[in-house]
Structure 1
Amino acid sequence: MVSRSGVGRGVLLLAGAALLLGLGAGYARMGWQPLTIPPAMVAEHGALMTGSFFGTLIAVERAVALRQWWTYVPAWLCGMSLLALLAGMVSAAFFLLAVGGCGMMGVFGWLLHRYRSFPFALMAIGAALFAATWIARALGAEYRRVLPLLMGFFVLIIVAERLELTRFLGLERQALRWLLGLIGIVLLGIGMELFAERWQIFGIALGSIGGWLLRYDAALWAVRQRSASALHRYTASMLAVGYGWLLVTMGLTVFGQGGFWYDATVHAFFVGFVFALVFAHGVMIAPAVLGRAGYAFTPFLWVPCGLAHGGLLLRLLGDVLGTPLRLWGSWLIGVGILVYGLLVVRQALQLPRAQ
């Protein structure tokens, strides 16, 4: 057994630093530099956000739940990629992320062997895609080529977590069959993009999974009851918005033609979909990582979430129209994400310690 608060806080500090520097690198790429960011980190904005931040966050979330010392290793490996990037050792950062992904495969594989659960199978496949992403980057592949692998990782992890969190509410067998088919199409779409550079099948599969989640995620229909709490309504709203952004991602992927369309697709997915799920789950994750009992919810969380999604709309309009709205939208996204993080951590630290 390990102390959740001490180890969790250390990893959370690395993830928080990666988020701050990742946002700063994103601003620098647009010509505005509020922080002094090393050039290597500016070029690796994607690695900072998806690997050093999200990779660490996802790995530590699972480690905290398991409370086994070895399950923290993938989180530390992903977090240490930030230190490698700070030192200008980009290849070493990719190596750490790849090994961290392999470590996540080991954790999820162990859970699959122990519980024989479909969500853990999805998580293990997702971790394999994460590891493959950074192996490919270490071998010189461009982000554009490995992006479907990375997006596939997030889709599978998020779908698996939603299945795991709502499993006690039950799900129709036919719905699971549909989901299994859609996941197969996602994997087919990844292969089509990697070997034939065709995004359409992958994009349609992403949108279809967004539609499936809107239809079958138990949290969305459970919250329609009058007895639903403010926390449940907030969580369900964030989930629904995130799933809606998957549909937007599908449209941009199918009809966009490179350039700013590519930028719009990337941010619709990672800010719109992935961060919406962070906004939804963060009220549970932060207290668990910090060794607290309860939920880090406050009604004020609606404000930063609204800023982030409103900023994303402005950014996408700026992408499509080629206007300075891109910069203003990006500024709002960053402010929303940082304020959300500060509010959630502050709220979590006010909760009683977990026994």
Structure 2
Amino acid sequence: MNSRRAIGVLLAAGVAAALLAGVAGGLARVGIVLASPGDAGWIGRAALGHAALMICAFMGTVIGIERAVAARHRLAWFAPIASAASGACLLAGASDAAGLLLAVAGVAFVGVNVMLVRRQKAAHTALLLVSALAWLAGNVLFAAGASGGAVLPWWFAFLVVTIAAERLEMTRLMRRRPVALVSLQAVLGLMLAGAATSGPWPLAGGLLFGAALVALAGWLVVFDIARRTVRAAGLPRYMAVCLLGGYGWLAIGGLCWMATAAGLPARDAALHAIGLGFIVSMMMGHAPVILPAIARIKLLFGPIFYLPLAALHGSLLLRLVAGATDLRWRADGALFNALALVLFAATAVGAAIAWRRRHGGRLASTRTP
């Protein structure tokens, strides 16, 4: 096995481990502790590091891999390697080392995005650089031991701005009014201002950050091509359904974020409406495009893909609506959230096998909405 393939295998293992540990830690936080052979102490550590595992060790590594593939430079792989290693440190109880690795990953990731901006000066590459800077800010605060209220807005800004930038890139050929880009930049600027002020002034920062999320959801519904491709068929319609559903959850998450800042008990709804309803919906929608690009794995699309998507949204409704007044329903909803992720993974594996059987492993182009 050559060094490139070995790194790929290790990164894939790190991504899978971070996701599984993050899910187990999330379940533990609502009172569901999975059986574990041997030392079960890692479950407690996964519960404490749930956000860092899911946002940084899992999503940060996946996005880092995607960006490294685009950069086509050896040093670009340093960011996902460091973020994946941070997950192992979190599970081992070495939180200081994990924080240092995430800070290093953030610096390296900013460098990769600077490289990409120099290659292609465009609005979407500039926004991707902004998202990298947001991740760096959150990682540095995490390494310094800052509170979750100061760190999480930066981490969510990293993911949300990344998605906004990628949607801007995928719809760059659409005819849009000049106000579209200006208004997007204004909304994202307000979001970053909310993230920056959430630490020292939680009320003002939380209200501003949540309002920006709601405004961004509105911008995406109005200007994204998904509202057109939802009338298409096949994969374009599926992707559009994932996107539009995600935009609805983003708006709900923004409202709940503001409610939390005002002192109402809506924190679980705010975090998971964004983290599951918005971000995971985006992942499900883009998986048929992203997997061929970064892992050369083709998926044979079929109506079965709607099943895990429906399971995700249904379980999230159970968790956030019924679970708002009954902790048992919240725990059940969280368990069904995890099962929806497992179902999607099984669907993707089955679709990859089906593609290889039908096409003999040949690659083909994938259209995006």
Q: Same fold (TM over 0.5)?
A: yes
Q: Which moved more, 1:201-210 or 1:5-14?
A: 5-14
Alignment of 1:113-262 (within 5 A): 113-198=118-203, 199-224=206-231, 228-256=232-260, 257-258=262-263, 260-262=265-267
Question: Is the contact made by 1:260 and 1:319 (CA closer than 8 Å) also made in structure 2?
Answer: no
Task: Indicate yes or no: 2:352 matched with 1:348.
Answer: yes
Percent identical pairs in the alignment equals 33
The CA distance in 2 between the partners of 1:7 and 1:219, in whole Å, is 36
Output the aligned Cα RMSD.
Answer: 2.2
1:95-127 Cα distance to aligned partner (Å, 9 max, x none)? 212211221111111111111111111111111
Task: Indicate yes or no: 2:58 matched with 1:53.
Answer: yes
What is aligned with 1:20? Answer: 20
**Which amino acid is the alignment partner of residue 249 of structure 1?**
G
CA-CA distance at 1:297 after TM superposition: 2.5
**Which amino acid is the alignment partner of residue 347 of structure 1?**
A
**Residues 67, 296 of structure 1: alpha-carbon distance in 2 compared, 3 angstrom cutoff:** farther
**Which amino acid is the alignment partner of residue 34 of structure 1?**
L
Q: Which moved more, 1:316-325 or 1:87-96?
A: 316-325
**Residues 4, 159 of structure 1: alpha-carbon distance in 2 compared, 3 angstrom cutoff:** farther
The CA distance in 1 between the partners of 2:308 and 2:212, in whole Å, is 30
The CA distance in 2 between the partners of 1:5 and 1:283, in whole Å, is 22
CA-CA distance at 1:208 after TM superposition: 0.4
The CA distance in 2 between the partners of 1:201 and 1:135, in whole Å, is 22
Question: Is the contact made by 1:41 and 1:48 (CA closer than 8 Å) also made in structure 2?
Answer: yes
**Which amino acid is the alignment partner of residue 76 of structure 1?**
I
What is aligned with 2:320? Answer: 316
Question: Is the contact made by 2:312 and 2:340 (CA closer than 8 Å) also made in structure 1?
Answer: yes
**Residues 258, 14 of structure 1: alpha-carbon distance in 2 compared, 3 angstrom cutoff:** farther
Per the alignment, in what secondary structure is the counterpart of residue 33 of structure 1?
coil
What is aligned with 1:34? Answer: 34
What TM-score results when the alignment is normalised by the length of structure 1?
0.92
Per the alignment, in what secondary structure is the counterpart of residue 31 of structure 2?
coil
CA-CA distance at 1:319 after TM superposition: 4.2
CA-CA distance at 1:338 after TM superposition: 1.7
CA-CA distance at 1:83 after TM superposition: 1.6
**Residues 46, 190 of structure 1: alpha-carbon distance in 2 compared, 3 angstrom cutoff:** same
Alignment length (residue pairs): 350
What TM-score results when the alignment is normalised by the length of structure 2?
0.88
1:183-223 Cα distance to aligned partner (Å, 9 max, x none)? 12112222332221121111111100001001111233234
Task: Indicate yes or no: 2:345 matched with 1:306.
Answer: no
Runs of 5+ in structure 1 lacking a partner?
none
Question: Is the contact made by 1:4 and 1:291 (CA closer than 8 Å) also made in structure 2?
Answer: no
What is aligned with 2:367? Answer: none
**Which amino acid is the alignment partner of residue 325 of structure 1?**
W
**Which amino acid is the alignment partner of residue 230 of structure 1?**
G
Question: Is the contact made by 2:102 and 2:143 (CA closer than 8 Å) also made in structure 1?
Answer: no
Question: Is the contact made by 2:132 and 2:158 (CA closer than 8 Å) also made in structure 1?
Answer: yes
The CA distance in 2 between the partners of 1:184 and 1:205, in whole Å, is 9
The CA distance in 2 between the partners of 1:289 and 1:121, in whole Å, is 21
Question: Is the contact made by 2:257 and 2:270 (CA closer than 8 Å) also made in structure 1?
Answer: yes
